[in-house]
Structure 1
């Protein structure tokens, strides 16, 4: 279109159905760094297509077009600075971690700090939006912003949406084959696993309501203009136009989805770019043995791991042939082997795309597992919290990963797992085969997200694709009321039949008794 003037270009876009120039609010004020990374590609793509974007986020994203205005209401340290030690949380186990409220209390404190920032009220007073896109996971306390703007909304789940998220759209997920996000089960569960999965899925949903819903609703009604007139959270969520899930059926276990629940997992994945020279030299000179990338993500600080665990990693690294590039939060380490390079920050996708990489040692965050598959790299998963166990278990079930438990890790276990993943070609073959599947799609995840975002804009909320299941309660959805009626009717019919049979039997028996008595008298 380089030779077309601006009016011709806009006309063509109009004929193609693109809705350019709409104003979109990205509501991510309590999003972690990894959550923001999920949204950045969509934000940038929509900005480049001419939409006017306002982004409320604790992180200022780089390389955004001029159409994207970024407002930092709180900093990311306000969210993560006082979160309990994840290594200690790991020792507590899944159930106890779910019941622990300390991190939740910290989120509520951060939310109050958010509401104390006058910039928020300037946006509320001076801005109007055609669409609101919100990170649903931890931003419940700002849900009241959506009806304030009287605009359609798209919810984004930064993971494969748990049942209590997709239920909003009438998309109820069966615990018989959809594992709870915080259990390391596959979609092939035994009876005991299905029992545990069903119970914990329900417990987590109830816990979520208790931890977030009531207090969040109370908070936005207290702080937002005309807050007492704002609807409750169930009503706000129930009016949402669509949900984007950061999942992909080739990576996450397939599940039935309604048309307003869209999988866009891997929006952030991309081809490799050039590495910084010092890092490229270290990786490119690793020879035939190659190198290993080791990163525990952005929330978990590797420097905070127990000293004995750190020494286990170093001793194993010192014995293997491969070089290791380790994401570490300090400049140096006194006992660092010569084959290990520390880095506070790594361009992870560019490292994963390097031809000499042999293995990715990761905490199993969803973005990291998506990147490992996109670039076809085997994984050694070391999950710490949240959905990381499930992500690593899914990777292991796909045949390109192995899991190691960090709280009881040993040198022998770690070394044998590393050597198995590097020396057995099956793992890299599985990773590369899966990489081909992820890329074999009619449109990229990002193009898909852009299309459906503009679809909601074009059709003013896209009410026509909503399922009637949204309006059904639990008993209606699973036709338990109908089942109860049918069972009741059958019971009544059986009862009436038994009553009739009993009467017939009694009459017959009575007549026989009368005849026998008559014969005896004669």
Structure 2
């Protein structure tokens, strides 16, 4: 019996992909630091399983196995160095900021810089790959690379995929209960909210085509070898084998997903490691009052924060019993209170996993909210752009967070929100409950991503998972053509019945009226 079990285990282990080695291209040339952090664990895991990985990215990751070759085409500064001030973007509004002409032009220039880099073409000409994995969010301009290798592809999005992306897989998201990432709605919308969500969902799809996709397609057709003969973006996306979404049904609102659309949210989350001694001493000595962790992510720089905001945060922090560790681009500040420590860089998950942490003050990036739940830490969210409003609203609805508008922040509002989160045990309790839920899975998100990656390799793109909905247009998918025919038929039946009733009425009621007149006395 024991030998039989061992044999089955060995057979299953070999079946899951360790018996073959594939050459995999991670195409992330325009990925920001947070985007790369999503994929690093998957690259490392696949590399450790013997696959040969080539990673095109602005970030050179550390602690990668020798099977992972990293190639930096442009730097992070090339990508986001002149991006608009996040506070100014907030004032403009999320939609205006995302589709701002200067932002689009900046991204187009970064795309062209990648497409003009000789090292990029060395990879294309000399390498052969069995699978292409693409961060689809801002890398559309290199999507033409996929058909050049005649290999299956997996598209990955660092957020929950909008309908404009998942539609390529036949997975249209109903706007009746799946809110746009640019709105603050929940999955329980009023009629007006559903109407707004539907209109925005449609408008976003049209804007993506007109402002991003058409320009990106023109760029790769101009720069890539034999580019004029490459298929369009719609066809390339429609031929992709699978879509990985950095979402989790516990944190994001549940939605219907086809078998080739996989949730792998949280695959970057991990248990905490020991902190550097100086940082550990500061946090461990916070005692029973604990400490607060304040970080606005990697894009928001100290220089961007208005001076009045900086003073508001410092004045409130100085009145707290808790210590505060603040991610800031300098390690000195003339008016720094003794309970506040600055750091240019912090191992975020190791800090969130420290036993003395009481609160995480964050911009509400998806990775940060996932990490806060994984480690069971309440959140004070101050969103700035993109999907951050939605993330914080979902966290608020989940019962482990509060949101404040950073543009309208005052000492009173900030202190009130912090004290509520610290003094009401319901927030910490809910964060711990959700932490248990996100870990209660048949396999970790990383194991899930590795399994399905190798599944696509083993089954030559896994075409059997594809839904016929990929080939349906909007009217066919929602059977609007059928509805139109049925409504037309119903209208015809109603018309014929109406005509018949009028005819009967004339023959019966008309005769009675005539008969009545005929016998009427003078």
Sort the TM-score into its range (normalised by shorter chain). over 0.9
Alignment of 1:111-510 (within 5 A): 111-510=111-510
1:78-107 Cα shifts (integer Å, max 9, x gaps): 111111111011011234324422111101
1:368-395 Cα shifts (integer Å, max 9, x gaps): 1111001000000011111011111111
Change (3 A) 1:41 1:475: same
- Alpha carbons 2:183, 2:390 under 8 Å: kept: yes
Task: Tell me, in whole angstroms, the C-alpha distance in 2 between the residues paired with 1:212 and 1:15.
Answer: 41
Match of 1:39 in 2: 39
1:226-278 Cα shifts (integer Å, max 9, x gaps): 10110001000000000000000001111111111000000000011010111
Task: Tell me, in whole angstroms, the C-alpha distance in 2 between the residues paired with 1:274 and 1:520.
Answer: 110
178-187 or 385-394, which deviates more: 178-187
Change (3 A) 1:397 1:521: closer
Change (3 A) 1:182 1:274: same
Task: Tell me, in whole angstroms, the C-alpha distance in 1 between the residues paired with 2:263 and 2:503.
Answer: 63
Classify the secondary structure of the residue corresponding to 1:143: helix
Match of 2:107 in 1: 107
Match of 2:5 in 1: none
Tell me the CA shift for residue 195 of structure 1.
Answer: 2.0
- Alpha carbons 1:20, 1:49 under 8 Å: kept: no
- Alpha carbons 1:303, 1:330 under 8 Å: kept: no
Match of 2:69 in 1: 69
Change (3 A) 1:223 1:190: same
Task: Tell me, in whole angstroms, the C-alpha distance in 2 between the residues paired with 1:100 and 1:171.
Answer: 29
483-492 or 508-517, which deviates more: 508-517
Gaps of 5+ in 2: 1-8
Tell me the CA shift for residue 175 of structure 1.
Answer: 1.4
Task: Tell me, in whole angstroms, the C-alpha distance in 2 between the residues paired with 1:261 and 1:429.
Answer: 32
Stretches of 4+ moved more than 6 A in 1? 9-12
Tell me the CA shift for residue 42 of structure 1.
Answer: 0.3
Change (3 A) 1:493 1:334: same
Tell me the CA shift for residue 143 of structure 1.
Answer: 0.4
- Alpha carbons 2:18, 2:50 under 8 Å: kept: no
- Alpha carbons 2:247, 2:266 under 8 Å: kept: yes
- Alpha carbons 2:292, 2:323 under 8 Å: kept: yes
- Alpha carbons 2:291, 2:357 under 8 Å: kept: yes
Gaps of 5+ in 1: 1-8
Match of 1:5 in 2: none
Task: Tell me, in whole angstroms, the C-alpha distance in 1 between the residues paired with 2:521 and 2:327.
Answer: 108
Tell me the CA shift for residue 302 of structure 1.
Answer: 3.1
Match of 1:92 in 2: 92
- Alpha carbons 1:101, 1:211 under 8 Å: kept: no
Aligned CA-pair RMSD: 1.7
Tell me the CA shift for residue 140 of structure 1.
Answer: 0.4
490-499 or 367-376, which deviates more: 490-499
- Alpha carbons 2:381, 2:403 under 8 Å: kept: yes
Tell me the CA shift for residue 197 of structure 1.
Answer: 1.7
Q: State the TM-score, normalized to the length of structure 1.
A: 0.96
Classify the secondary structure of the residue corresponding to 2:132: strand
Task: Tell me, in whole angstroms, the C-alpha distance in 1 between the residues paired with 2:134 and 2:184.
Answer: 28
Classify the secondary structure of the residue corresponding to 2:62: coil
Task: Tell me, in whole angstroms, the C-alpha distance in 1 between the residues paired with 2:237 and 2:163.
Answer: 14
1:278-316 Cα shifts (integer Å, max 9, x gaps): 101111111111111000001111332100000000000
Classify the secondary structure of the residue corresponding to 2:156: strand
- Alpha carbons 1:303, 1:328 under 8 Å: kept: no
Match of 2:6 in 1: none
1:323-357 Cα shifts (integer Å, max 9, x gaps): 11100011311111111111000000000010111
Tell me the CA shift for residue 200 of structure 1.
Answer: 1.7
Classify the secondary structure of the residue corresponding to 2:325: strand
172-181 or 445-454, which deviates more: 172-181
Change (3 A) 1:504 1:318: same
Tell me the CA shift for residue 510 of structure 1.
Answer: 4.9
